[in-house]
Amino acid sequence: MNIQKIISTDIKKALINFGVSENYNLEIFKTSKMHIGDYQSNAIMKIAKQLKTDPYNFAKNIIKLIKKNNIYENISVSKPGFINIILNRQWLSKILDINIHSHTLGIAPISPETIIVDYSSPNIAKEMHIGHLRSTIIGDATVRILEFIGHNVIRVNHIGDWGTQFGMLLAYLKVNKNFDFIKNISLKNIEKLYQKAKKKYDEDQNFAKLSRQYVVKLQSGDLYCQYLWKKMTQATINYNKTIYKKLHITLQDKHIMGESAYNTMLPKITEDLKNKGIAVYNQGALVVLLDKIKNRQGHPMGVIIKKKDGGYVYAIIDIACIKYRCEILKADKIIYYTDSRQHQYLLQIWEIARKAGYVSKHVLLEHHMFGMILSKNRHPFKTRSGNTVKLNILLNEGIDKAKNILLKKNPHLSAKDTEKLSTIIGIGAIKYADLRKNRTTDYIFNWDEMLSFEGNTALYIQYAYTRIISIMKKSNIDVTKITSKIQLIEPYEIELALHLLQFEEKILYAANQGTPHVICNYLYQLSGTFSKFYENCSILFAKKTAISHSRLKLSFLTAKTIKKGLNLLGIYTMNYI
Give the binding site for ligand ARG (CB under 6 A). Answer: 118, 121-123, 158, 160, 318, 321, 336, 338
Nearest to ligand ARG of 156, 552 (CB atom): 156
Q: How far is CA 89 from CA 75, 102, 119, 487, in A?
A: 14, 20, 43, 8
Nearest to ligand ARG of 38, 434 (CB atom): 434
Do residues 194 and 164 touch, judged by C-beta distance below 8 A?
Answer: no
Nearest to ligand ARG of 353, 559 (CB atom): 353
Q: Which long-range contacts (CB under 8 A, 24 or more apart) does 10-13 make?
A: 10/66, 10/67, 11/41, 11/43, 11/44, 11/62, 11/66, 11/83, 13/65, 13/66, 13/67
Nearest to ligand ARG of 135, 462 (CB atom): 135
Nearest to ligand ARG of 222, 366 (CB atom): 366
In the chain, what is the greatest distance between 2 CA atoms, to the nearest angstrom? 87
Question: Could you give the CA distance from residue 425 to residue 423 in angstroms, rounded to a whole number?
Answer: 5
Q: Is-cis flag, bond preceding 80, omega within 30?
A: yes
Instruction: Report the nearest approach of ligand ARG to the CB of residue 241 (Å).
Output: 17
Instruction: Report the nearest approach of ligand ARG to the CB of residue 321 (Å).
Output: 6
Nearest to ligand ARG of 160, 428 (CB atom): 160
Q: Which amino acid is at 562?
A: I
DSSP 204-264: -HHHHHHHHHHHHHHHTT-HHHHHHHHHHHHHHHHHHHHHHHHTT----GGGB--GGGGGG
CB within 8 A of 452, min separation 6: which ones?
459, 460
Report how far Cα 433 is from the mean position of its chain's Cα atoms.
Answer: 13
CA dihedral 448, 449, 455, 461 (to 10 degrees): -80
Instruction: Report the nearest approach of ligand ARG to the CB of residue 145 (Å).
Output: 20
Question: Could you give the CA distance from residue 325 to residue 117 in angstroms, rounded to a whole number?
Answer: 11
Do residues 37 and 43 touch, judged by C-beta distance below 8 A?
Answer: no
Instruction: Report the nearest approach of ligand ARG to the CB of residue 122 (Å).
Output: 6
Regarding beta strands 279-282 and 285-294, do their DSSP bridges make them parallel or antiparallel, or are they unpaired? antiparallel
Q: How far is CA 29 from CA 228, 529, 561, in A?
A: 59, 17, 20
CA dihedral 433, 434, 439, 442 (to 10 degrees): 90
Question: Could you give the CA distance from residue 46 to residue 27 in angstroms, rounded to a whole number?
Answer: 10
Question: Could you give the CA distance from residue 168 to residue 195 in angstroms, rounded to a whole number?
Answer: 10
Nearest to ligand ARG of 86, 315 (CB atom): 315
Nearest to ligand ARG of 2, 121 (CB atom): 121
Nearest to ligand ARG of 4, 165 (CB atom): 165
Instruction: Report the nearest approach of ligand ARG to the CB of residue 254 (Å).
Output: 18
Q: Which amino acid is at 285?
A: A
Nearest to ligand ARG of 250, 452 (CB atom): 250
Instruction: Report the nearest approach of ligand ARG to the CB of residue 111 (Å).
Output: 27
| Residue in 236, 258, 317 with CA at minimum distance from that of residue 121 | 258
Nearest to ligand ARG of 161, 504 (CB atom): 161
Nearest to ligand ARG of 2, 123 (CB atom): 123
In 43-184 the beta strands, taken as DSSP E runs, fall at 72-78, 82-87, 114-118, 152-156
Instruction: Report the nearest approach of ligand ARG to the CB of residue 339 (Å).
Output: 8
Instruction: Report the nearest approach of ligand ARG to the CB of residue 117 (Å).
Output: 11
Nearest to ligand ARG of 72, 350 (CB atom): 350
Continuous segment of H or E residues that includes residue 426:
helix 415-435
Instruction: Report the nearest approach of ligand ARG to the CB of residue 158 (Å).
Output: 4
Report how far Cα 459 is from the mean position of its chain's Cα atoms.
Answer: 20
Question: Could you give the CA distance from residue 231 to residue 228 in angstroms, rounded to a whole number?
Answer: 5
Instruction: Report the nearest approach of ligand ARG to the CB of residue 330 (Å).
Output: 18
Instruction: Report the nearest approach of ligand ARG to the CB of residue 558 (Å).
Output: 38
Instruction: Report the nearest approach of ligand ARG to the CB of residue 523 (Å).
Output: 29
Instruction: Report the nearest approach of ligand ARG to the CB of residue 152 (Å).
Output: 20
The count of residues in the chain is: 577
Nearest to ligand ARG of 118, 504 (CB atom): 118
DSSP 361-413: TT-EEEE-----EE-TTSSBPB-TTSPBPBHHHHHHHHHHHHHHHHHHH-TT-
CA dihedral 531, 533, 537, 540 (to 10 degrees): -60
Instruction: Report the nearest approach of ligand ARG to the CB of residue 336 (Å).
Output: 6
Nearest to ligand ARG of 83, 369 (CB atom): 369
| Residue in 118, 110, 142, 112 with CA at minimum distance from that of residue 334 | 118
Instruction: Report the nearest approach of ligand ARG to the CB of residue 551 (Å).
Output: 49
Residues 276, 278, 280: CA angle, nearest 5 degrees = 110
